[in-house]
Structures are given as C-alpha cells and as structure tokens.
Amino acid sequence: MIQDLLVYVVFMGYAIGVMLGIATLFTWVERKQSAIMADRIGANRAYIRIPFTNIKLVWMGLFHGIADGAKMLLKENFTPKTYDRFCFNLAPWLAAVPVLVVFAVIPFGGTIVPGDLIPALHDFFGSRSYTMQVANLDAGILVIMAISGIGILGTMLAGWSSNNKFSLLGAARAASQMISYEVSMGLAIICLVVTYGTLDLNQMVQWQSGTLFGFLPAWGIIVQPLGFILFLTAAIAENKRVPFDLPECESELVAGYFTEYSAMKMGLFMLSEFIEIVVVSALLVTLFLGGYNLPYMNDTGFVFPGGSTLAMSHLAVVVTQVVTFLVKVVLVGCFQIQIRWSLPRFRYDQLMRFGWKFLLPFAAVNLVVTACVRWLTL
C-alpha cells in the first residue's frame, strides 16, 4: 500500500512539474519562435546574475518566464467595483484548476516495474507494476471531456462578475465558442473510441503501437486523419488562441473576459492558457501520435515490420518512453504556436458558422464512415 502511495506521489510531482515546466517553456518558445518567424531577435533581456560577480546568464532569454511570473506576483492586485467579489475571485481558479486536473489521466509512459528498474528496491516493491499515469481510469477520455467543460464556467464567471461590457461580450463569446467546439471535439473523440474500441487512454496508446497493413505504424493520425484535423481545430478553439481568440482579442474587446483582472489573477488566466497548450498537445500525442511510444515500439522493445525485433532493457524502455512523450508534446506545442503566429483571427459569426456548418458535418460524416468501416471489419 505504502509503495503505491509513494509511486503515485512521484507521478503527481512529475505531472505537475511537466505541465508547469513545459508551460513556462512555451511562454519562451512563443516569444522566440514568433521572433524567428518575423526576423526579429526576440526575448533576450532578462538575465540572472550570479551573486557577487558580474556574470550575467542570459541563456537566450530563457529567464523571461521567471521574470514574467515574478512580475505577475508582485503587481498591484486591483479589484474593480463589482457586485460579486466571490465570483470575481473564484473565476481564475475555475479556469486554471480543470486544466491541471485533466493531465491526471494522460499516460506519460508505459508500464513501469520499480523493482526491476532499481534492483536495490526489489525487496520493497516486489513485482508490482504501474502504468505511468496519475489516475489510471478506464473511462479516461470521458473524464477529460467532463473536466475540461468546467473551464468554461471560469471564463463565463470572470466576464460576468467583472461588471464590464467588454468582459461580458468576451464571456458570451467564450461560452458559445467553447460549447460549440466541444461538440465537434466530442464527435472526433467518439470516432477514436469506435476505432480503438476502448475509453482507456493507456490502451489507446498500446493499440497505436501495432501496425497497419503490416508496415504503417497504426497511429491515430493515419487511421483517423480527418479526426486529427477536426480535433486539432476544435482543441485550438477550446484553448481560445488565434485564430479563435475572439473572447480575448485585444483589438476589439481590450482583453475580453479578463479585462478587469490584474496581477496574479490575470497571471492565472495566462498560465492556464499555456498549460492548456501542454494538455492539448499531450492529448493530441496520446490520441493520434502514438502516445509515449516511438513507431513500432511497445513495452518490451521494437517490433519492426519485417518481423525482426529489438528487445530493450526495462530501463531503456522507460527512459525512451518518457523522453519520447516530452519531445512529442513540445513539438506539437510548437506546431500550435506556429499556427497562432501565421493566421489572422475569425469574426464571431464566422467562427460559429465554421464550428456548426463546417466542422460538425465533417465530424458527423467521419463518425458514420468510421462506424461503417468498424462494423464491416469486426
């Protein structure tokens, strides 16, 4: 029992560390990548000086994230005259916490057997094995949908309780946008559930470690290419980033639903946005890009299309899986940032039209086709 507790505490620490770490990294990537795209230098000012020396560590502006965080924490926390202080203070938490919770069900590695990994602990752990996942739920994908839906409440509450017309407009946009795109997202996920035949994210990843027609890695993106595009689009819309950043578009609504927020409350909204990039990337990786596995790889090693195999030690497998997952998440995140800096934003009615008249029919057709194929091949 104590062993389980210990392992899961480590997993939780790792999950939180990964989310916050990569989210902070993404604030830097966003700056640096956009700078490279626009032929600029980008963030290069913040530095850490080694005490009592004149050595300044700039590290390509990597410390800007820390400077940002410190700024957010130290700024004046201005609260407008609002009729509902409680909701006003609650809203940032409602926006940030669900995003954090969603990561709990995402597997960031395959099965780990601590006793085999570290021989010294063999007596303590025995032959217990764990999947590298904070909460190993058999209905993981449903939990994700359910919890990420709560985030909408945070934005709505923020806009409504700010007592500001721009915030209210932003909140109305946010609510209708997120609810609309959740429909297409849900349909895209149902296609996957039909294909994989499971709701468990870990089993989905294992399904993807197989091959298709004997040589293609059976990744979700190959089995469900349309589903991937639908899910990616809907996920960016859920995340409220360009081209779907209408709830907070700075040129019309000042800052949208968080216009009246300052200091760390505003920081929480910003942070939750970046954490959501991580979560969305992790979800995309898990559902469509083979999860923590490299192509042709499973928990014991590689099985190549020709039938040749490459066995790996447990330690090598665990390290490869963890690193693969992180690299994939970062790459998908960079891809999202690339989209964000290439496109202008939609208009509100165009966004709704796109969601309901374009994405939804495609998602529905995709579901019907998937179901037919599944029915015929069963």
Partner 1 sequence: MEYKSPVRSFLEETADPNNVVVNLGPSHPATHGTIQVIAELEGETVKRADIHCGYLHRGFEKEAEHHTYHKVIPYTDRLNYCSSLNNNFAYAETVEKLLGIEITPRCKWLRTLLSEYNRVADHVTCIAATVMEMGAMTAFLYLMTIRDYMFEHLNHLTGARLTYSYARIGGMARELPDGWLDRLEEILQFHERYIDRIHGLLDRNRIFIDRTRNVGCMTPEHALNWGYTGPILRSTGIAMDVRKDNPYLAYDELDFEVPVGINGDNYDRYYVRMREIDESVSMIRQCVKNLPDGPLNVDNPQVVLPEKQKVYTQTESLIRHFKLIMDGIPVPAGEVYCSHEAPNGELGFYLVSDGSGRPYKLHVRSPSFNHMGGMHTLLEGYQVADIIATFGSMNMIGGECDR
Applying CB under 8 A, the residues found at the interface with partner 1 are 34, 37-40, 165-166, 169, 242-243, 245-246, 249-252, 254, 341-350
Copy the structure tokens of residue 378. 């069963």
Residue with Cβ nearer partner 1 (168 or 287): 168
Min dist. Cβ of residue 72 to partner 1 (A): 20
Of 32 and 328, which CB lies nearer to partner 1 in the complex structure?
Answer: 32
Query: C-beta of 239: minimal distance to partner 1 in Å?
Result: 15
Half-sphere exposure of 164 (CA within 13 A, CB side): 22
What is the Cα–Cα distance from 346 to 245, expressed in whole angstroms? 8
Q: How far is the CB of 110 from partner 1 (least distance, A)?
A: 39
Strands (E), 31-122: 48-49, 56-57, 111-112
In the complex, minimum distance from the CB of residue 365 to partner 1, in angstroms, rounded to a whole number: 21
Nearest-approach distance from CB 28 to partner 1, in angstroms:
17
> Which letter does DSSP use for residue 109 in this model?
S
CA distance 361 to 188: 11
The 3 state secondary structure assigned to 53-119 is CCCEECHHHCCHHHHHHHHHHHCCCCCCCCCCHHHHHHHHHHHHHHHHHHHHHCCCCCEECHHHHCH
Complex with partner 1: residue 2 or 38, whichever CB lies closer: 38
Minimum Å gap between C-beta 240 and partner 1 is: 12
Q: Which is nearer to partner 1, 49 or 347 (CB)?
A: 347
Element (H, E) at 293: none
CA distance 55 to 47: 10
